[in-house]
């Protein structure tokens, strides 16, 4: 699986896990899970965008580390339990079409966090303008 595919999978998996199953008769009247209550609107009905900010905020609340996932690709990857090494970030940059120098990791990281946000939106994620 691609690195960006792993990012998508991690976010969308957590979003799905936070949504109670109301499709079966036994669960139709079930109360929302603690995760869903902690992050209201984390997962809209099927076919609607996933609230990326709510999913990540919920994960950050459970994480215990002080991660700056809104501005740092390294911290975002750590929050999702993915490899945040320079090599992994270079591979992600190549995957997403980065044309700058991967030796300038600061510029690459800034580009990556912006590009990941944009790609999340293009793949069914709802990303707030401030993110």
pTM above 0.85, yes or no: no
Q: What is the pLDDT of residue 101?
A: 96
Indicate the pairing of strand 125-126 with strand 50-51: parallel
What's the pLDDT at 49? 84
Q: Name the domain count of the chain.
A: 1
pLDDT of residue 64: 83
User: What is the C-alpha to C-alpha distance for residues 82 and 80, in angstroms, rounded to an integer?
Assistant: 6
Residues 123, 48: Cα–Cα separation, whole Å: 11
Main-chain phi, psi angles of 125, to 5 degrees = -100, 145
| DSSP-based three-state secondary structure for 50 | strand
Kindly state whether residue 78 falls inside one of the protein's structural domains.
yes
* H runs (alpha helix) in the chain: 3-17, 34-38, 52-63, 73-79, 86-96, 105-122
**Any residues with CB less than 8 A from the CB of 51 and at least 6 apart, and which?**
15, 39, 41, 42, 43, 44, 125, 126
Residue 51: inside a domain, yes or no? yes
Predicted pLDDT of residue 86: 97
- Kindly state whether residue 117 falls inside one of the protein's structural domains: yes
pLDDT in tens, the chain (131 residues): 799 999 999 998 877 665 544 444 444 344 333 333 333 333 344 567 889 999 999 999 998 889 999 999 999 999 999 999 999 999 999 999 999 999 999 999 999 999 999 999 999 888 877 65
> CA–CA separation, 20 vs 29, rounded Å?
10
Cα–Cα distances (Å) from 23 to 15, 73, 96, in that order, read 17, 36, 36
pLDDT value of residue 1: 79
Domain with 14 in it: 3-19+34-124
29 within domain boundaries: no
């Amino acid at each position: 699986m691609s690195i960006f595919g792993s990012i998508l999978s991690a976010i969308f998996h957590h979003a799905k896990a936070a949504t109670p199953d109301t499709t079966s008769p036994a669960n139709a009247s079930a109360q929302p899970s603690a995760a869903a209550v902690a992050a209201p609107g984390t997962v809209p009905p099927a076919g609607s965008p996933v609230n990326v900010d709510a999913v990540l905020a919920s994960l950050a609340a459970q994480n215990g580390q002080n991660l700056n996932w809104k501005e740092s690709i390294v911290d975002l990857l750590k929050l999702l339990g993915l490899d945040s090494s320079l090599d992994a970030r270079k591979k992600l940059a190549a995957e997403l079409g980065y044309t700058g120098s991967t030796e300038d990791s600061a510029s690459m990281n800034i580009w990556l966090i912006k590009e990941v946000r944009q790609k999340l939106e293009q793949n069914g994620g709802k990303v707030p303008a401030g993110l």
